Amino acid sequence: MVYDSDAAVNYLVYDQKNWVSYDDHTTFQQNIDFANSRGLRGLFIWAIDQDTDDFAALKAITGTDITPSIDESDTLGGWNANQCWITPCGTGCQEGFIKLVRLNLDKDGRGCLNSGDNSQQRSLCCPPWGAPDPSTCKWHGTASACFGQCDPGEVLMSTDNFGDASWCRSGVKAFCCPATSGSAAVAACDWKSGKSCPSDLPQRVTYYGVTRWKSFCCPAESVFNNCAWHGDD
C-alpha cells in the first residue's frame, strides 16, 4: 500500500499494471481540511452502502462511533419484520440487537454453503424493541422437497436452503414467527366466495366483484375500523 500525501489517496498496484485506490481516516481528514480551507459548505460520500460492517468510513468522517439505530416509534408498540435484516456471511448481529436464527447452516453443521467453517454464518437480526420472541418462531418445510410456508397467523421472516440443518434439494424452508396486533388479526381472515361470510368468520370487512363476488371475512372478535380501498380506478 502506498500513501500519496500530495494526492490525498492510498493506492496499491498489482500485476504491475492494475491499481486500486481507497480512502481511510487520514485521507478523509485531508479532504475535510481541503473543503474547509476553500469555505465549502459540506461534503458527501460515494457510496455509504459500500462501507465496512463496522462503519469504518463513516466513523472516520464524523469522528463518532456510529452504530445502527432504529426509531422505536416506527414499531408502533409491536415488532416489525421490516426492521429486521440478514447479515453477510461471517458476520453477526450488531451489539445490542437480537439474533433470531442462524442461516446457511449446512447438513454438516458448518456455516455458509461450502465454507467449511462453522464461523461463516449469517444471522437474522432485529432491534430489541421490534423483535419477536425467538422461542415462538419455527422453520416450516421438510427436506428434501421443502416448499415451506407459514401457517395462518404467522409472518415470514426469512427463507433458507438448510434452515434447521437438513438440506432442501428443491424449494426452501420458511422461518416464521407469530404475527402481532393488526398483522395477527388480518392473518386470521380469509377471502370467501359470495357476499356473505361463514359462521366461523362472520365479520365481513369488505368485498368486491361484478357478477362473482368475493368477501374478506374475519373472526367476530377482531375489530376493524376506518378500512378503505386505495389505488386509482
DSSP string covering the chain: -EEETTTTEEEEEETTTEEEEE--HHHHHHHHHHHHHTT------TTGGGS-TT-HHHHHHHSS-------GGGGTTS--GGG-EEPPTT--PPTT-EEEEEE---TTS-SSTT---TT--EEEEE-GGG---GGG-EEE--SSB----PPTTEEEEEEESSTTTPPPSBS-EEEEEE--HHHHHHHT-EEEESSS--TTS-EEEEEEESSSEEEEEE-TT----S----S--
Q: Are residues 95 and 14 part of one domain?
A: no
For residue 97, being part of any structural domain is answered with yes
- pLDDT tens, position by position, 187-198: 778 899 998 999
| Residue 85 shares a structural domain with residue 155 | yes
The most confident of the ranges 19-33, 54-68, 95-109, 146-160 is 19-33
In a shared domain, residues 6 and 95: no
Query: Residue 159 falls within a domain, yes or no?
Result: yes
Give the pLDDT mean for 206-229. Answer: 81
- For 57-90, how does the pLDDT look when each residue is reduced to its tens digit (9 = 90+)? 888 888 776 655 434 333 333 556 677 888 888 7
Rounded percentage of the chain residues whose pLDDT exceeds 70: 79
Range of the domain at 194: 190-233
Q: Is residue 67 part of a domain?
A: no
Range of lowest pLDDT (37-46, 107-116, 185-194, 204-213) = 107-116
116 part of a folded domain:
yes
> Do 79 and 179 fall within a single domain?
yes
Domain boundary among 43, 62, 81: 62
- Assess whether pLDDT exceeds 80 at residue 145: yes
> Do 224 and 195 lie in a common domain?
yes
Residues 179 and 76 grouped into a single domain: yes
Is 224 contained in some domain? yes
Least confident range from 11-15, 62-66, 110-114, 195-199: namely 110-114
